[in-house]
Amino acid sequence: MSNYTYGESRPALERVSETTRLAQEAYANYDQSVQMLDRRGFVGTVLSASALVLGVAVNPSEATAAPTTWQPSVYLGFEADGTVVIMAHRSEMGTSSRTTLPMMLADELEADWKKVRVEQALGDEKYGSQNTDGSCSVRDFGMAMHKAGATARTMFERAAAQKWGVQPGDVAADQGKVVNGKTKKSLTYAELLPIAAKMEVPKEHELRMKTPDQYKLIGKKVPMLDEHNIVMGKATFGMDAKVPGMLVAMVERPPVYGSKVKSFDNTAALAVKGVQKTVELPMFKQPHLFQQLGGVAVLGDSTWAVMQGRKKLKIDWEKSPNDSYNSADEKKFLLDSVLKPGKVVRNRGDVDAAFATSAKTHEANYYAPLLSHAPMEPPVAVAEFKNGKVETWCPTQNPQAVQEAVAAAMGIPKTDVICHVTLLGGGFGRKSKPDYVVEAALLSKATGKPVKVIWTREDDIKFDYYHTVSGMHMKAGMDANGKLNSWLFRSAFPPIASTFAPGMQYGAEFEVGMGLNELPYDIPNIRGENCPAPNHLRLGWMRAVAHVYHAFGIHSFLDELAVLNNTNYADYMLKSLGPNRNIDLSKDGVKPWNNGQPISKFPISTGRLRRVLEQVVEQSGYGKQKSGNGRGFGIAAHRSFLSYIASVVEVEVDKNGKVTIPNVWTVADCGTVVNPDRVVSQFEGAAVFGTSVAMLGEISAANGRIQQSNFNDYQVARLTESPRNIQVSIVPSKEPAAGVGEPGVPVIVPAITNAIFAATGKRVRDLPVRRTKLV
């Protein structure tokens, strides 16, 4: 991806689609399980550097020396003693991917979970996508895990049947061994290994998958593998990675996006004890992709020395075209941009004609600011450039993007970048952009030593790939009974697409496809428009991405319409949803983005949306609970990441305008659920993340410089600011597994502001809430 350059002769349309492709590829929403269907996947060689012992390739034609180890799939290997080794090829940032996918494989394999060893995979395209982003690990790889497990189990069963001279149907695998149904004798997987490894790999149609009643792990509470190490303080995050002889580095980056080092004086920095050298990093070249920002690095023996040294650098920066970038002006620009017609991204009927004949109309504008991901572990990476190759240890959501970005920066093939993935101290999308790994690799090459680049919190807040700022305009027409007949939805946001193609002012397919062109309501006239917005910063996806602001606009506006018609959101939305059906966006000229998934497999079902809404109303007592006098209930129901989520939030606003959140109820229909407690935990966390977005979060720029620097001025929700109770209910479902990590966030934000309106009569249309005086 990083090698791609944009030809000026390229026609505009293709440019746009290429941008969309790049951004989408980076966001990884293809059906990656395809990889698993490739039979070449069954004759892989080694698992990872730490499992070289497994490097005996299986070749069915070699009937001689029995292999002592066996790797029937890229995700699965066995050691001679029967130990099952499962490769976690997705990153662990708290969503439990590293536990949940291996547990699916282990269950289907009939392995004894206690004897399974999970190893973190290196970055390698043989695994399919490793981009742990887009809430798709189980969705895209669940079937691959089942197939890998079933393949090996079938081979063990056949091996046992062969050894006993019985039919395969007479034996059954059970927790690491195969049992003869008649004699009750058993053989362990370890004993069967030499035979099984030489058997022909069964074809897919020969596999017999377990039925759900036979599951021993799937659907049960399975704790995260790393839990014990975490509570012991022994878990290894990127921040804990160490290599002998490494230098610690910090980089003073350009204060304004796109400015270059004019000159610098390192005399005082080098005088600090422990500081060894300084290195100037070149500025990125457009398109930005995952390149470094540039600046001057200070390298030394210890973190503290380098921190002190960096403060003593004197740098003169060149002017940047973004020197005049101000968030206050941008807000005005965006809210102005949405008052003018934009690019039509969806059209049904004729909203203008409908407005002209509506009994009443209502309009409102909404604004949501820039945000920073702020994972608790700031970006950090260790890299060593040696003999023309780079080896790196880093907390990344996307080790293959690390390979590509580092390879492009160093001018080496991506197969010469070895990427070890540590645990991530939070990701939220930040750590799928490996600019920090590129910095470490460049600095290692420049110094000839392994280098650990540490970002301070200030670096993290000031130099993020920010969640974009947005302005939205809504207008609706209703008949005399208040029934919706038309809805115009305009949205302007500097797009993530601009990170991949400079100058882009319109959203990539996935940005538009998150909420803007997919209103599910039964309204005869709908128009979605994307209005242009230029970018002045590095932008990137953050947990729930464009759904965050689009859901805020949509569900705030629905609440306003309900109030206008003397009803409540739930009743009004249920009426507006119309009959249970699957929405056909193609009639409105929309090719649904749908997280890159076929609409036939993941239709937009108003029935499922209705069900979560009705259930959350019932569980919370929304509509029956009294609002007013500083106490209020708010609600929102939204489909995102192919899941259907509804939340009710209760707020209390005291006489000083201080908001507390006693209760949140969330009902989630995410299709089939594999590790229910970890799913619940994601929705608990989403309620807190959404609280930060709604109440506190704001990044702003003045003269191109980010004004926030740390948790004192970029606040995220603390214990007392977070919901005091969060009740999560998962709808039992046999539908395909959909997203979990992200879809809990979008509903929380409007549910909070709707609750604040119920409590105080104040409609918050500008985020964060703390900017509005509520009392």
Where along the sequence are the contacts to another protein (CB under 8 A)?
Answer: 92-96, 221, 223-224, 226-228, 230-237, 239-240, 242, 248, 273, 302-304, 374-378, 423-428, 454, 456-458, 677-678, 681-682, 684-689, 710-712, 716-720, 722-726
Question: Do 380 and 570 contact (CB within 8 A), yes or no?
Answer: no
Q: Please, what is the minimum distance in Å from the beta carbon of residue 664 to another protein?
A: 9
- The CA-to-CA distance between both ends of the chain, in Å, stands at 51
Q: Please, what is the minimum distance in Å from the beta carbon of residue 240 to another protein?
A: 4
Q: Please, what is the minimum distance in Å from the beta carbon of residue 641 to another protein?
A: 18
DSSP notation for 26-76: HH--S-TTHHHH-GGGGG-----GGGGGG-----TT--SS--SSEEEETTE
Q: How far apart are CA 322 and CA 264, in angstroms?
A: 21
Which H, E and C letters describe 233-260, residue by residue?
CCCCEHHHCCCCCCEEEEEECCCCCCCC
Q: Please, what is the minimum distance in Å from the beta carbon of residue 691 to another protein?
A: 8
Pick from 460, 459, 531, 522: nearest CA to 490: 531
Closer by beta carbon to another protein, 515 or else 741 = 741
Q: How far apart are CA 407 and CA 275, in angstroms?
A: 28
Closer by beta carbon to another protein, 295 or else 427 = 427
Question: In angstroms, what CA-CA distances link 236 with 231, 426, 686?
Answer: 12, 13, 25
Q: Please, what is the minimum distance in Å from the beta carbon of residue 458 to another protein?
A: 8
Q: Please, what is the minimum distance in Å from the beta carbon of residue 459 to another protein?
A: 10
Closer by beta carbon to another protein, 425 or else 553 = 425
Q: Please, what is the minimum distance in Å from the beta carbon of residue 81 to another protein?
A: 26
HSE, side-chain direction, 13 A CA sphere, residue 340: 7
HSE, side-chain direction, 13 A CA sphere, residue 136: 25
Question: In angstroms, what CA-CA distances link 661 with 716, 730, 765?
Answer: 15, 22, 19
Q: Please, what is the minimum distance in Å from the beta carbon of residue 241 to another protein?
A: 9
Q: Please, what is the minimum distance in Å from the beta carbon of residue 187 to another protein?
A: 35
Closer by beta carbon to another protein, 460 or else 511 = 460
Closer by beta carbon to another protein, 360 or else 718 = 718
Q: Please, what is the minimum distance in Å from the beta carbon of residue 424 to another protein?
A: 6
Q: Is 134 exposed, middle or buried (0-12, 13-18, 19+ CB in 10 A)?
A: buried
Question: Do 405 and 289 contact (CB within 8 A), yes or no?
Answer: yes
Closer by beta carbon to another protein, 221 or else 626 = 221
Pick from 263, 261, 293, 297: nearest CA to 277: 297
Question: Do 248 and 303 contact (CB within 8 A), yes or no?
Answer: yes
Q: Which amino acid is at 741?
A: G
Closer by beta carbon to another protein, 95 or else 499 = 95
Closer by beta carbon to another protein, 170 or else 677 = 677
Question: Do 171 and 179 contact (CB within 8 A), yes or no?
Answer: yes
Could you check whether the bond before residue 287 is cis, i.e. omega within 30 degrees of 0? yes
Closer by beta carbon to another protein, 12 or else 719 = 719
Burial 283-309 (b: 16+ CB within 10 A, else e): bbebbbbbbbbbbbbbbbeebebbbbb
Q: Please, what is the minimum distance in Å from the beta carbon of residue 699 to another protein?
A: 15
Q: Please, what is the minimum distance in Å from the beta carbon of residue 308 to another protein?
A: 9
Closer by beta carbon to another protein, 704 or else 768 = 768
Q: How far apart are CA 687 and CA 675, in angstroms?
A: 19
Closer by beta carbon to another protein, 238 or else 603 = 238
Closer by beta carbon to another protein, 297 or else 728 = 728
HSE, side-chain direction, 13 A CA sphere, residue 169: 1
Question: In angstroms, what CA-CA distances link 189 with 141, 146, 192, 405, 662?
Answer: 25, 18, 5, 41, 52
Q: Please, what is the minimum distance in Å from the beta carbon of residue 246 to another protein?
A: 11
Q: How far apart are CA 762 and CA 705, in angstroms?
A: 32
Closer by beta carbon to another protein, 93 or else 747 = 93
Q: Please, what is the minimum distance in Å from the beta carbon of residue 663 to another protein?
A: 11
Give the count of beta carbons closer than 10 Å to the beta carbon of residue 272.
18
Q: How far apart are CA 748 and CA 648, in angstroms?
A: 8
Residues 6 or more apart whose Cβ sits within 8 Å of residue 368: 469, 470, 548, 549, 552, 693, 767
Matching residue, tokens 């970038």: 325
Closer by beta carbon to another protein, 197 or else 748 = 748
